[in-house]
Structure 1
Amino acid sequence: MIRTIAFDVGETLVKDDRYWAAWADWLHVPRHTVSALVGAVVARGQDNADALRLIQPGIDVAAAYRSREEAGRGEHLDETDVYEDVRPALAALREAGTRVIIAGNQTAKVGELLRALDLPADMIATSGEWGVAKPTTAFFERLIAEAGGSAEDILYVGDHPQNDTIPARAAGLRTAHLRRGPWGYLWAEDPSVTAAADYRIDSLMDLVTIIGD
C-alpha cells in the first residue's frame, strides 16, 4: 500500500526555465544557447551542469553559484515557477490520507524558497540540507527514515531516470516516471525507464487515480 508519495523538485514540481535563464545571463550567453546545450547533454545522458562546462570549460559551478548569490543574482522561486497541477494534486493526495514529501537535489536555499511557497506538503527537504544527494543510496535511505515506514510503502515521483526512477527502484521504493521536462520526455520510452517505473504518468493528477485503485 502506498502510504507516502515523495516528489523530486526540478521539472517535477517547478519549471527550470528561470534557473537556466539566470545561468545564461550570468555567463553572458543567449538563453537559447543554454537551452540548446541542456538539450544536448540530456540526449547524451550527461549531468545538466555539463551544459555550463561546455560554455565555460573548467568552471567551478559551486564557486560560480556562490558568486551569483553574493551579487544578489542567486536562486529565486515564486508561484509562476510552479506547474499548474502541483497544488491540486498534492492537496488531493493529502486529503486522501497520503503523506506528501518533497525531496530533491537542491541547495538549502531552495529548501527555504520551497517552504515559503506554502505548498500542500507534510515535509520539504533538499540534498543540501540532508548532506546526501541523488542518485546515492544514502539519499533514499534518509527519505525512507523521514517517511517513517518501509521502502515499499513509498512512491517516488520524478522526471530524471538516473537521479529518480532507477536509483529509487534500486533502493526498494515504488516509482513513477513523469513525462515532463527534457529528461522526462526524451527518456520516457527507454527500456531502463520502463523496467524501473511502476507507473508512467503525464500529470501529477494521475497519482490521485493511482492511490485510489
Structure 2
Amino acid sequence: MTADRWVCLDIGETLIDETRVWSTWATVLGVTPLVLMATMGVEIAAGRSYDTALTRIDPSWHDRLEEKDAAYGGFRAEDLYPDALPALAAYRDAGLGVAVIGNQPPSRTAELRAIGVAPDVMAMSDELGVSKPDPAFFAAALEAMGGVPADRVTYVGDRVDNDVVAASAAGLRTVHLRRGPWGLLGPQADGRADGVVDGLLEVLDHL
C-alpha cells in the first residue's frame, strides 16, 4: 500500500488484552491469578521485567513455557480490546497506512487475521529476527512498510521503554497508550511521547 502517513501498532495490551495470558501462567505455576498479577504489579511499578515476577513465584518458569503455550492456545476474538477493530477501520478511513508489528512469535500473524485484524502490513519480531527495544526492530518495521520514512510513522504502544523511548530514538513519532499493567503502572511518558491516550480511537487526535 502507498500511504503518506502510517500508524504502526504494538500487540500485547494494545490490541490484545493479555489477562488470559497471565491467568494461564498462574494456573501453570500453581498460584491464583490474584497472586501472580499482584506480583507483576510490584515488579512493573518498580520498572522491572515481568520475568522477575515469574521468577519470584517459580525460578524454573522457563521450563514451563511449552506447557503454558499449550494451555493458552493462541489469541481468541474475546482477547481483542473492544476498540481494536473499530480503531483499525477508523485509521484506514482517515487514509492512513496501518501496520501491526510487535514482539511476538510467527504464529500470531495467522491468529490475528483469524479474529479480524487485517492491517496493510503485519509482522512479528521472530519473523523479523529482532525484537524491541533494539533499533534494528524499527528499521525492519519501516522496511516492512515499504521503506516509508520514519517521521511518517506513528508507533502506538503501552510500554514507555519498548514502545515510546525506543521508537522515538529510531525517528518515529510515538503515542503512549495508557492501559494494561505497563501502561498504567510502569514508567510514564512524561513528555517523551508525541501523544498520550487512553484508547486507540484517540490516536487520530495526535497525528
- 8 Å contact kept, 1:78–1:117: yes
1:107 partner SS: coil
Deviations 1:36-90 (A, max 9, x none): 0110110111111221111112432xx4222444xx3244211111111111111
**Is 2:205 the partner of 1:209?**
yes
AA partner of residue 65 (structure 2)? Y
Deviations 1:157-206 (A, max 9, x none): 00101111000000000000011111111246x4xx22320011111111
**Percent same amino acid among aligned pairs?**
38
Counterpart residue number, 1:198: 194
Counterpart residue number, 2:65: 65
- Identify the match of residue 58 of structure 2 among 51, 56, 59: 56
**Is 2:105 the partner of 1:107?**
yes
Counterpart residue number, 2:180: 181
TM-score (norm 2): 0.92
Matches within 5 A, 1:2-41: 3-41=5-43
Counterpart residue number, 2:149: 150
Counterpart residue number, 1:77: 75
Q: Counterparts of 1:113 and 1:55 in 2: how far apart (Å)?
A: 29
1:26 partner SS: helix
Q: Counterparts of 2:39 and 2:4 in 1: how far apart (Å)?
A: 38
AA partner of residue 132 (structure 1)? V
Structure 2: gaps spanning 5 or more residues: none
TM-score (norm 1): 0.89
Structure 1: gaps spanning 5 or more residues: none
Distance 1:120 1:209, change over 3 A: farther
Q: Counterparts of 2:12 and 2:193 in 1: how far apart (Å)?
A: 19
- 8 Å contact kept, 2:194–2:206: no
4+ residue runs over 3 A deviation: none
1:132 partner SS: coil
